[in-house]
């Protein structure tokens, strides 16, 4: 299939968006307890085997947002999504818009999402954190939405420096979209931002 026969949305769906494991079952199978000592005394931090092998997301409230812009010679794709987590419940609210020579179509991105907050050591042994979020696919006219899947329908913070497990997390970044393809004239950017506070 050649590029001209693909819409930007279809082209985007063919490419993986993250190099994380595809773990979609939200069932809780194990909980790990870590203790943090500070001026307020001992605080227990729960790490659960939920979505990823060691997920701290249920201990946070806040948001993870992203904006995607893809452009080709005769088409454009825009996506803006906010992922919220409150008391362990992850919800998505956003919109995708695709414009080409045939017109414009809009798909809502709403419903149950997935969120992973991981703390780990990087290749130099330094503590880092990584946030990964996923939402259902856009509900285009005549096409039902598909459930959220990590590694396919979401975005991530990539590794960020951390000072302690369970710290508040706030930041953002902008980088070229994975779908960028100069040969076929596709350019794009991804902007992500997050603000998560530990409960």
- 164 has a pLDDT exceeding 50: yes
- 109: closest CA among 137, 143, 148, 147? 137
Asked if residue 109 lies in contact with residue 136, where contact means CB atoms within 8 angstroms, the answer is yes
The per-residue pLDDT for 17 is 36
Distances (CA, A) of 159 to 8, 42, 151, 172, 175: 28, 27, 15, 11, 14
The per-residue pLDDT for 10 is 54
Confidence of residue 163 (pLDDT cuts 50, 70, 90): very high
Rounded to an integer, the average pLDDT of 33-61 is: 74
Asked if residue 114 lies in contact with residue 52, where contact means CB atoms within 8 angstroms, the answer is no
pTM of the predicted model, to two decimals? 0.80
The per-residue pLDDT for 9 is 60
Handedness of CA 37, 40, 46, 52 (dihedral sign): negative
The per-residue pLDDT for 170 is 98
The residue written with tokens 């330094």 in the block is 126
Rounded to an integer, the average pLDDT of 166-194 is: 96
The per-residue pLDDT for 12 is 57
Backbone dihedral angles phi then psi of residue 19, each to the nearest 5 degrees: -100, 35
Share of the chain above pLDDT 90, in %: 71
């Amino acid at each position: 299939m050649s590029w001209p026969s693909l819409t930007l949305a279809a082209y985007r769906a063919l490419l993986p968006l993250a190099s994380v494991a595809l773990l979609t079952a939200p069932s809780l199978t194990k909980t790990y307890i870590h203790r943090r000592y500070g001026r307020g005394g001992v605080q227990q931090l729960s790490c659960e085997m939920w979505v990823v092998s060691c997920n701290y997301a249920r201990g946070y409230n806040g948001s993870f947002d992203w904006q995607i812009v893809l452009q080709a010679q005769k088409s454009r794709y825009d996506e803006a999504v906010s992922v919220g987590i409150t008391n362990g419940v992850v919800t998505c609210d956003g919109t995708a818009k695709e414009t080409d020579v045939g017109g414009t179509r809009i798909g809502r991105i709403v419903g149950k999402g997935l969120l992973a907050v991981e703390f780990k050591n990087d290749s130099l042994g330094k503590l880092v954190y990584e946030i990964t979020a996923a939402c259902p696919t856009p509900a285009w006219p005549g096409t039902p939405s598909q459930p959220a899947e990590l590694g396919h329908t979401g975005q991530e913070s990539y590794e960020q420096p951390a000072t302690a497990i369970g710290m508040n997390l706030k930041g953002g970044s902008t980088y070229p979209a994975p779908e960028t393809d100069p040969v076929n004239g596709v350019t794009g950017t991804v902007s992500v931002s997050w603000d998560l506070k530990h409960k």
